[in-house]
Structure 1
Amino acid sequence: MGRAVLETAAERDDTTVVFAANHTPTDERVAGHEVRSTDDLPDLLTDHAPDVVVDFTGPDSAVEYATACAGSGVGFVTGTTGFEADHRDALREAADRIPVLWAANFSRGIHALGDALAETVETLPGSDIELTETHHNRKRDAPSGTATTLLDRIDDASAADRDRTYGREGEQPRDGNEVGVHVRRAGNVRGEHEVLLAGNDEVLTLTHRAESRGVFAGGALDAAVWLAGRDAGWYGFEEVLA
């Protein structure tokens, strides 16, 4: 994702990359930029004074970088997922000092899917619901942050609480109030999410598939442009799209 952000930024007129950093720096230049060590992040923030840092790393490092940004007064956009409660609390603390924008997915199509899903669940309240998500074989968190966000949209639109069943094995007759959640990890799949609703002799499937990581990189840069100069606080990608 870091490479995708740099390559996408190089094609835009509304963003300028002032530095790039990774926990394992490389001599290779990416989209014309030297990749520095994130150990140097405090100095890089001081020397280059960016408006916003865009982060796609891991929960611990995202919190570390957000804290550094808070100390330097730099906005923070992150697409990292897999946060535990203490990570979220730390990000919220940073948001007391700087603007912080988090999204599990920076695809405009995924957000359209979420809106359509909420309306569909309300329209078909008695449907059985199954969610399947597929990502590349190196993705760490399961289910994905996007899948979790879609599950939350289902919960919000449902008249009754729905239990989440993660995969099935053995004898497991379906509970009418459950949502089946299925995770696949294979190859270099960028991201695919499918929600199946079945009932009353009809089946409806809502699907989103990302063909390129550039989809997410472009959305993250849209968020960075939108966030620059805003007041400290906690923001979401839906506000960028409003």
Structure 2
Amino acid sequence: MGQSLLRLAGEHEDLQVVAAVSGGKPSQRVLDGVPQFASQELHGVPAFDVAIDFSLPPGFQSILSLCGKRGAALVSGTTGLEQADLQALESAGEAIPVLWAANYSLGVAVLADLVERAAAMLRQWDCDIVESHHVHKKDAPSGTALALGERASAGGADPRYASLRAGDIVGEHTVQFTGPGERIELVHRATNRDIFARGALHAASALAARPPGCYRLRDLLLS
């Protein structure tokens, strides 16, 4: 994801990458004009307005702390967070703009909104979420499927899950509502992983100018 973010950042005229941070020691101090830092050197990075974080839980806490100290915004897609991490994120939102999402596809953000609205209007219908991914994906259901299920539950549905692991499928999610004699399917198919980096960059561009608070990706879609 880090490589994709660096490669695609040039599509945004309003974004300038001032540093890249990775877990291990960088082989080069400057790569393609971008200063490189190890995670242990995080506090030495130059000034920034917004950080994009796709790391591990220990790295999440470090960048969240740094953003708080510098008054910078944070966009995070780090998974495996504990309740304490989410509470720290919520607390940080009182001082800086923060956004965490399991999936940075803009299409999935729209899908989640549609799912909640459909569930609220079809309360007596069955709700099934079917997700498909490549054979190497370990978790099932996927984090995105579970997030869609949370939105369905918020609308009053009781979602059930099914998972498929096959080939090199990037990611497909179908939310199906079934009633007597009819069925509605809401579907999202990812065909390229760049969509997640583009979504995170869009979020970073929009979030940097926002006041403190805890945001959702859909809050930034019209920015």
TM bracket, shorter-chain basis? 0.7 to 0.9
Q: 1:151 aligns with which of 149, 158, 175?
A: 149
* Counterpart residue type for residue 169 of structure 2: V
Q: How far is 1:31 from its partner?
A: 6.0
Give the Å deviation of 1:73: 2.1
Residue 129 of structure 1 and its aligned partner are, at CA, apart by: 1.7
The alignment-based identity, stated in percent, is: 37
Deviation at 1:41, TM superposition (A): 0.8
Query: What's the CA shift for 1:76?
Result: 0.8
- Does residue 127 (structure 1) correspond to residue 125 (structure 2)? The answer is yes
1:34–1:85: structure 2 CA closer, same or farther, 3 Å change rule? same
Give distance in 1, aligned partners of 2:149 and 2:189: 17
Partners of 1:14 and 1:216 lie apart in 2 by: 19
Cross-structure match for 1:194: 174
Work out whether 1:16 is the aligned partner of 2:19. Answer: no
* Code of the aligned partner of 2:38: S
Q: Residue in 2 aligned with 1:169? A: none
For 2:131, what is the secondary structure of its paired residue? strand
**Could you say what secondary structure the match of 2:11 adopts?**
coil
Q: Assess, with a 3 A threshold, how the Cα gap between structure 1 residues 185 and 63 changes in structure 2: closer, same or farther.
A: farther
Structure 1's unaligned 5+ residue stretches are 163-178
Shift of 1:18: 0.7
Q: Which amino acid aligns with 2:198?
A: G
Distance 1:30 1:191 in 2: 31
Rounded Cα–Cα distance in structure 1 between residues aligned with 2:27 and 2:168: 25
Superposed displacement of residue 142, structure 1: 4.3
> Which of the residues 35, 42, 54 maps onto 1:56?
54
| Structure 2 residue identity aligned to 1:190 | V
Q: Is 1:68 aligned to residue 56 of structure 2? A: no
Q: What SS class does the counterpart of residue 224 from structure 1 fall into?
A: helix
Name the CA shift for 1:69/1:240 in 2 (closer, same or farther; >3 Å). same
Structure 2 counterpart SS, 1:13: coil
Post-superposition offset of 1:130: 1.4
2:150 is paired with a residue whose SS is helix
- Distance, in Å, in 2 between the alignment partners of 1:30 and 1:131 is 42
Secondary structure in 2 matching 1:218: helix
The Cα of 1:52 is off from its aligned counterpart by 0.5
Deviates more, 1:11-20 or 1:97-106: 97-106
1:111 aligns with 109
> Is the 8 Å Cα contact of residues 107 and 216 (structure 1) preserved in structure 2?
yes
Q: Is the 8 A contact 2:39 2:59 kept in 1?
A: no
Alpha-carbon distance, 1:53 to partner:
0.5
Question: Do residues 211 (structure 1) and 211 (structure 2) align?
Answer: no
CA distance in 2, matches of 1:24, 1:194: 38
**Which residue pairs with 1:231 in the alignment?**
211
Give the conservation status (yes or no) of the 8 Å contact 2:4–2:194.
yes
Equivalent residue of 2:162, what SS? strand
What SS does structure 2 have at the residue aligned with 1:17? coil
Corresponding residue for residue 221 of structure 2: 241
CA contact (8 A) 1:7 1:30 kept: no
Distance 1:59 1:187, change over 3 A: farther
Structure 1 counterpart of 2:85, one-letter code: H
Q: How does the TM-score come out when normalised to structure 2?
A: 0.85
Q: Contact 1:63–1:87 (CA<8 Å) still a contact in 2?
A: yes
Measure how far apart 1:9 and its partner are. 0.2
- In the alignment of these two chains, the number of paired residues is 221
- C-alpha contact (below 8 Å) 1:81/1:141 kept by paired residues: no
Amino acid in the other structure paired with 1:153: R
Shift of 1:12: 2.4
CA contact (8 A) 2:101 2:216 kept: yes
Contact 2:110–2:218 under 8 Å retained in 1: no
Q: CA deviation at 1:23?
A: 0.7
CA shift for structure 1 position 91: 1.4
Post-superposition Cα deviations, 1:53-101, rounded to whole Å, max 9, x if no partner, equal 0011223321221112212222111122332211101212322332212
